[in-house]
Amino acid sequence: MLRREAGSSTVHREVKPLREKWREHWEKRHEVLAPSLERANRWGTGLFWGMYLVAFYIAVFVLLPHYKHEDDGYVPLIMQIGFLAVEAALNWWVTFAVRSPVPREAAAGGEVEDGLPVGWKTCVICQLNIPARAHHCKVCQSCVLKRDHHCFFVGRCVGFRNQRHFVVLCFYVAVGLLYLAWMESGYLAEPFHHWENYLLLPALWDWLWGGVSLEDCLVLAHMYASAFFGLVGLAYFLWEILLLLSGTTSHEITHGISRYATGTLWHRFRSVMGDYGVVQFLVPLPFLSQPGNGIDWEQRAALAKCH
């Protein structure tokens, strides 16, 4: 912006503060990305619940009637399907409902550097001082304590307060879908007598010539989808366990940040899963607090001097 002084022909160019420039940059970038990110959020959550409802329908109305006439295991099978379905739905809801926002009154003691506690920074979008390990999410449009990543299948950021529920959700998604794929393979053993019939193209060919029913082909397609997304859920679960045991986050791994002291394996596990971590795999307990506040993090002495 140009400014002319009164009574002078000299023209001065006003220089905006760097903080204001960054804020304008991110606002313009958000205007471009926001519609596509919000659309991806809706598609992700829609895909999750679409897969959930289709899997529940096939398990209850297709597979259970098939296994009904077996002498052993029918009642336990109903209980297993019900338990897995309830656990997946509950942990999805808790992961979605429990957020980890940076409180505006957040404050920390300790050494101060450039007007902020060591490790803190200023979010130019939220105009908020945020603690170490907190980061801004352009999808949630807020800063998240100990942000790991944004999960489009849940529609929320995985952070300090809901990471434990996300870990359990990944576990039950993996177990439920892989178990369902195994049940579907047993269901298809009767109409598909040879291994090549389990391939989609030969199965469709047999359907065109009346060898198998359309329902069998749909179950076969869903078996492949269940196996694929079950393996994806397993990969997410193993990755989160690796992060949990190493005391870091996905954001810190991708950005090469390793400055925070995390203690023993038990301390790392307890920091994420809380004092009743194993019980979380039976019933979600969002009302139970976990160690720490998500704001104060101890830095490794050697690395803290370098940053």
Catalytic residue among 140, 151, 157, 217, which?
Answer: 151
* DSSP code, position 268: H
Measured between alpha carbons, how far is 144 from 262 in angstroms, rounded to an integer? Answer: 19
What sign results for the dihedral spanned by CA atoms 45, 48, 49, 51? positive
Measured between alpha carbons, how far is 65 from 48 in angstroms, rounded to an integer? Answer: 25
Q: Which amino acid is at 300?
A: R
**Got the DSSP string for 13-39?**
EPPPPHHHHHHHHHHHHHHHHHHHHHH
Of 48, 37, 39, 46, the C-alpha closest to 229 is: 48
Measured between alpha carbons, how far is 187 from 305 in angstroms, rounded to an integer? Answer: 62
217 catalytic residue (yes or no): no
Instruction: Name 158's bridge partners.
Output: 149
Catalytic residues: 151
